[in-house]
Amino acid sequence: MTEIVDFKCLRCGHEFTGPYDKKMPIERSCPKCNSNSVRKIKKPIKK
Partner 1 sequence: MMDVGRHPNINLYTYSEVIEVNGYIGNFNVKVRKKARFVDETVCNACGECEKVCPVAVADEFQQGFSSRKAIYMPFPQAVPSVYILNNDDCLGHNPIACGKCADVCEQECIDFDMKDEIIEINVGAVIVATGMDVYDPTEMDEYGYTKHENVITSMEFERLISAGGPTEGHLIRPTDREVPKKIAFIQCVGSRSHSTTGNPYCSNICCMNTIKDSLLIKDHHPETEISVFYIDIRAFGKGFEDLYIRSKNAGVQYIRGLPGEVFEDPKTKNLTLIVEDTVANTVKDYNFDMVVLSVGVIPRRDGGAIQKLLTLSRTEDGFFMESHPKLKPVDAPTGGVFFAGCAEFPKDVKDSVTQASAAVARAEVLLNSDMISIEAITSECFTDLCTSCGICINVCPFNAIRGSDAKTGTPAEVIEALCKGCGTCAAECNFDALSMKHFEDAQIITMIDAMLDENPMDKVTVFACNWCSYAGADLAGLSRLQYPTSQRIIRTMCSGRVDSAFVLHAFEKGAPIVLVSGCHFADCHYIDANRWTQKRVEKLWDKLERLGIRPERLQMEWISAAEGQKWARTMTEIDEMRKNVTKEEVEHTKKVLKEDREKAEAKRAKKQSKKIAPKTNSPGAEISVPA
What is the per-residue DSSP string for 1-47?
--EEEEEEETTT--EEEEEE-SSS------TTT--S-EEEEEEEPP-
Q: Which of 10, 16, 19, 32 binds partner 1 (CB under 8 A)?
A: 10
- Contact call for residue 14 and partner 1 (CB under 8 A): no
- Contact call for residue 36 and partner 1 (CB under 8 A): yes
- Contact call for residue 40 and partner 1 (CB under 8 A): yes
Which residues are at the interface with partner 1 (CB under 8 A)?
Answer: 10-11, 25-27, 33, 35-37, 39-40
